């Protein structure tokens, strides 16, 4: 009965997204699938976290009045597919590490746009134009730290143990750096687009998180 309640709630939420033209039907359908997988694993708190993740991202975009394209299913899959697969295998900490990495990187990009100083390329530390793949700023990294703090507090409320929280937060911040390195190399040379970069970064973070889970 509780699962049915959540499905109805998601249906209303999806209908709202569709009516307001925030997402297309394909994206909304994938959101349903992802949320269902987490719900079947009894991880309602992760579903709430995902809604918080995308809600904050959309809110910041609206506040900054940035004219980038709407988030779609490619963006969703790039950020969430690795975490969704991890949760299917029962690796909750690994899943959250990848989602935290995606969240931190998103806030880093959005908040980093407020920087008054030009970004530097993460691989060379040379100044580059705003919007260049792999460009980073201190303001952007502060955004990543904010994402890590939000994640830490959120899952601390749900009584996640300290070791899991440490892995999640460390991997979240590390994921921002990894994403920037991939952006400065493979994406900047045209081998990957932004969504593929997000996927590869979360995949690397997932591998690191697996190692940490079984070492710590």
**Predicted local distance difference test score (pLDDT) of residue 189:** 92
Across 51-76, average pLDDT = 76
Query: Domain boundaries in the chain?
Result: 2-215
In this predicted structure, the answer to whether residue 151 has a pLDDT above a threshold of 90 is yes
Distance between CA atoms of residues 88 and 190, nearest Å: 32
Residues 6+ apart with CB under 8 A from 11: none
More confidently predicted of 24 and 99:
99
**Predicted local distance difference test score (pLDDT) of residue 74:** 87
For the question of whether the overall pTM of this predicted structure is more than 0.75, the answer is yes
In this predicted structure, the answer to whether residue 3 has a pLDDT above a threshold of 60 is no
**Predicted local distance difference test score (pLDDT) of residue 4:** 59
Handedness of CA 166, 100, 148, 119 (dihedral sign): positive
């Amino acid at each position: 009965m509780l699962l049915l309640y959540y499905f109805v709630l998601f249906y209303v939420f999806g209908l709202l997204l569709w009516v307001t033209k925030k997402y297309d039907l394909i994206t909304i359908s994938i959101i349903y699938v992802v949320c269902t997988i987490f719900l079947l694993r009894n991880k309602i708190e992760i579903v709430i976290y995902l809604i918080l993740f995308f809600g904050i991202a959309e809110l910041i975009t609206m506040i900054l009045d940035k004219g980038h394209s709407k988030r779609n299913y490619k963006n969703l899959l790039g950020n969430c597919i690795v975490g969704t697969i991890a949760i299917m295998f029962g690796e909750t900490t690994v899943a959250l590490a990848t989602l935290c990495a995606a969240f931190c990187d998103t806030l880093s990009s959005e908040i980093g746009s407020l920087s008054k100083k030009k970004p530097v390329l993460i691989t060379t530390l040379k100044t580059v134009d705003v919007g260049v793949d792999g460009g980073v700023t201190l303001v952007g990294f502060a955004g990543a730290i904010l994402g890590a703090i939000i994640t830490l507090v959120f899952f601390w409320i749900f009584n996640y143990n300290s070791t899991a929280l440490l892995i999640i937060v460390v991997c979240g911040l590390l994921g921002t750096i990894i994403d920037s390195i991939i952006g400065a190399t493979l994406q900047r040379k045209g081998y990957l687009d932004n969504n593929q970069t997000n996927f590869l970064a979360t995949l690397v973070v997932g591998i690191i998180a697996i190692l940490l889970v079984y070492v710590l």
